[in-house]
Amino acid sequence: MKNNEKPLILPIEQIITENDRVKTFVFEHEMNFKPGQFVMTWIPGYDEKPFGLVSRVPGEFMITVAAVGESTKALHAMSVGDLIGFRGPFGSTFSLPDAGSIALIAGGYGMASLFNLAKEAREKGIDVHVFLGARNKAELLYLDWMKELGTTLYLSTDDGSEGFKGFNVQVFEEEVGKQIFDKAYTVGPEIMEMKVADICYKNNIPFEVSLERYMKCGIGICGSCCVDPVGWRMCVEGPVIDGEKLKEITEFGKYHRTASGKVEGYPWAKISRN
């Protein structure tokens, strides 16, 4: 039986400004997480939200946060020494092949959930090809760190300010025709993940996806993040889902549930729950 998810309260040790909208907050603590896991992050007085865990050196971890709502803006306004609460790490994890070559397809801050997978893969001697996409050059995350790890980077931006002008999925699809990937991993907007899934199914590439759903408890009891029709909880059975299991999640790419539990279709998909 467990009772170890009391909030861990830590001061912010360092704040890295990634760009106008995104900051990385560094904390001194050994989080003991596995790649793909997340942490419920309490911004006292505002909210608690899940963020992917990143760690570059032992005894330290970080979260990368875009200022998009009230609570994340409040976090951006905080200073070194201010206190943040954490529960976790929670959720399922990515799994690596023993050797060979892998592709990571990351959009936006999806890279945060994939960074430690890239690190672990490089430590095992696996070739890591990163297809990183963002709106513009400034929003391409962790470029120096990824170079340091010895990954091969394929950059793309919506506005063409860096790398290929267009989507990272297009670059990935082109490379799939040229080289062999033993496994692919994708984290980012669901429409991007859907396209990656299609490419992987067509080309018989095993893959894993991290699926984001609205979360409340983070510990598998509130049901907010259950997916149709299997009922798997994205905070326990997810967020990392294997490509074969993903076929059973019929809501993938079509709809999700809001904080009230109401079904909300994605703009690109017609809702069909059956």
Output 16 or 83, the one with its CB closest to other proteins: 83
Nearest approach in angstroms of CB 102 to other proteins is 31
Choose between 46 and 201: whose C-beta lies nearer to other proteins: 46
Nearer to other proteins, 84 or 130 (CB): 84
Q: What is the CA radius of gyration of the chain?
A: 18
Q: Which pairing describes strands 38-43 and 47-52: parallel, antiparallel, or unpaired?
A: antiparallel
Q: Which is nearer to other proteins, 78 or 138 (CB)?
A: 78
User: Shortest gap between Cβ of 263 and other proteins (angstroms)?
Assistant: 8
- Reading the block at residue 226, the tokens are 């259950």
CB of residue 15 vs other proteins: minimum separation in angstroms?
Answer: 18
Shortest distance in whole angstroms from residue 114 CB to other proteins: 25
| Of residues 87, 146, 116, the one with CA closest to residue 210 | 116
Contacting residues toward other proteins, per CB under 8 A:
1-7, 9, 40, 42, 44-49, 71, 83, 85, 87, 216-224, 226-233, 236, 257-263
Nearest approach, Cβ of 1 to other proteins (angstroms)?
5
Strand order across the beta sheet in which 60-66 lies? 14-17, 22-28, 60-66
Any idea which residue has 């993040």 for tokens?
225
- Cis geometry, peptide bond prior to residue 229 (ω within 30 degrees of 0): yes
Nearest partner of 262 among 234, 224, 233, judged by Cα: 224
Is 129 or 213 the residue whose CB approaches other proteins more closely? 213
